[in-house]
């Protein structure tokens, strides 16, 4: 096989696939990227067996063929080349010769036949939505996924397609983020997908603000086709907890907050809430919010904010990271916090179908 390519374009493709390659792979071929050169195009692919990414790259095909080359090494070599015109030739023994200007590299690959095949999604259902919707759905919920490897169903985002709505939910058992979108889908399209956290991260890397994405899925596999670039993944096999029951149906107070001002004040206050004491207190009094943190032996902080509040005095403790997480992933200027009392969950909302339930933290009297 033989091809010419532009350094930058090829590098783009390599970048998309190389993050999938496992750092310590037990099967050597999984450290490699598959390069397929056909008359109709050149494709790069990498997989860690849970996840596979395949993307097209622009190149001039001189001779068809396929091989696998060490992904990380190939990436570094191409990145460091001085000239943008690159030629690559691979012989029968899977030794690739890369030439560009005065540079000359020979790298040993493995036969293409050893590389895992892409899964065929049999009887897949599929639907197509705007990439920016999926991107927003993931952004607004991904941070709430559980990072601990205890309850694996929580290490995932639940995407539900039902009644012309896409719902994205994530929770780690202490807070829950939910974002919802109206879609115009062919009648009867519905499904539930539990996307593993690594897949979520990879999709977030590949997805753009423009264009469409076609999501095809079966019982246990999914494929995101983002206008050529495809990501295949396993789905988490499990039952997601019934999250609807934890969303408070009604709350007593609704407080409007300026997101920017509020999150900066919170961030400052939380400087004195450390790893061992991850708590800040929110005290709502008439037209006033006071955020305090206190670290024994270190000191304390207090931030005062003028707000528009007419309700009953409430004092409630939250883990500041949980609140900052949601603030950082929203773009709206105004957010609403709904509260009932210091023992009940708080709910952050915006002027869109989104909510973030967060459980309070209590200070026990020793």
| Contacting residues toward other proteins, per CB under 8 A | 146, 148-151, 154, 171-176, 241, 246, 275-279, 295-298, 317, 319, 343, 345, 357, 359-366
Q: How far is the CB of 318 from other proteins (least distance, A)?
A: 9
Task: Output 105 or 240, the one with its CB closest to other proteins.
Answer: 240
Task: Output 45 or 145, the one with its CB closest to other proteins.
Answer: 145
Query: What is the DSSP secondary-structure string of 248-266?
Result: -S--SEEEEEEHHHHHHHH
With tokens 């076609």, the residue in question is 214
Q: How far is the CB of 149 from other proteins (least distance, A)?
A: 8
Q: How far is the CB of 353 from other proteins (least distance, A)?
A: 20
Q: How far is the CB of 298 from other proteins (least distance, A)?
A: 8
Task: Output 113 or 242, the one with its CB closest to other proteins.
Answer: 242
Q: Supply φ then ψ for residue 326, to 5 degrees.
A: -70, -35
Is 2 strand, coil or helix? strand
Which is nearest to 11 in space by CA: 93, 81, 109? 81
Q: How far is the CB of 161 from other proteins (least distance, A)?
A: 24
Instruction: Name the DSSP class of 13.
Output: H
Q: How far is the CB of 162 from other proteins (least distance, A)?
A: 22
Instruction: Name the DSSP class of 143.
Output: G
Task: Output 49 or 363, the one with its CB closest to other proteins.
Answer: 363
Task: Output 40 or 364, the one with its CB closest to other proteins.
Answer: 364
Q: How far is the CB of 350 from other proteins (least distance, A)?
A: 20
Q: How far is the CB of 366 from other proteins (least distance, A)?
A: 6
Virtual CA dihedral for 7, 86, 59, 74, nearest 10 degrees? -70
Which is nearest to 316 in space by CA: 287, 272, 273, 285? 285
Is 17 strand, coil or helix? helix
Task: Output 13 or 320, the one with its CB closest to other proteins.
Answer: 320
d(CA 133, CA 71) in angstroms, rounded, equals 31
- Cβ pair 226, 16 in contact under 8 A: no
**Radius of gyration from C-alpha coordinates of the chain:** 25
Instruction: Name the DSSP class of 345.
Output: P
Which is nearest to 38 in space by CA: 7, 6, 12, 60? 60
Beta-carbon count within 10 A of 113 CB: 9
Task: Output 102 or 366, the one with its CB closest to other proteins.
Answer: 366
């Amino acid at each position: 096989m033989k091809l010419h390519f532009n350094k930058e374009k090829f590098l783009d493709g390599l970048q998309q696939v190389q993050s999938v390659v496992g750092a310590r792979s037990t099967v050597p071929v999984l450290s490699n990227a598959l390069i397929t050169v056909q008359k109709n195009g050149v494709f790069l692919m990498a997989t860690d067996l849970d996840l596979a990414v395949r993307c097209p790259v622009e190149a001039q095909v001189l001779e068809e063929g396929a091989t696998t080359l060490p992904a990380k090494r190939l990436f570094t070599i191409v990145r460091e080349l001085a000239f943008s015109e690159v030629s690559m030739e691979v012989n029968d023994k899977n030794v690739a010769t890369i030439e560009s200007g005065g540079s000359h590299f020979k790298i040993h690959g493995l036969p293409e036949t050893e590389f895992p095949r892409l899964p065929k999604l049999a009887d897949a259902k599929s639907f197509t939505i705007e990439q920016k919707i999926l991107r927003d759905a993931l952004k607004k919920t991904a941070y709430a996924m559980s990072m601990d490897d205890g309850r694996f169903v929580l290490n995932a985002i639940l995407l539900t397609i039902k009644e012309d709505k896409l719902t994205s939910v994530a929770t780690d058992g202490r807070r829950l983020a939910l974002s919802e979108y109206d879609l115009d889908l062919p009648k009867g399209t519905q499904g539930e997908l539990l996307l593993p956290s690594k897949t979520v991260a990879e999709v977030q890397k590949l997805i753009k603000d423009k264009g469409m994405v076609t999501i095809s899925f079966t019982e246990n596999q999914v494929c995101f086709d983002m206008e050529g670039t495809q990501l295949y993944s396993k789905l988490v096999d499990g039952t997601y907890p019934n999250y609807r029951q934890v969303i408070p149906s009604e709350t007593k107070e609704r407080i409007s907050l300026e997101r920017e001002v509020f999150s900066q004040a919170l961030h400052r206050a939380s400087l004195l809430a450390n790893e061992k004491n991850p708590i800040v207190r929110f005290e709502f009094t008439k037209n006033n919010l006071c955020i305090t943190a206190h670290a024994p032996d270190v000191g304390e902080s207090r931030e005062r904010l003028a707000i528009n509040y007419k309700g009953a005095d409430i004092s409630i403790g939250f883990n500041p990271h949980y609140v900052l997480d949601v603030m950082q992933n929203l773009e709206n200027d105004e957010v609403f916090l709904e509260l009932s009392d210091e023992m009940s969950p708080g709910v952050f909302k915006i002027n869109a179908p989104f909510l973030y339930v967060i459980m309070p933290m209590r200070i026990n009297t020793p």
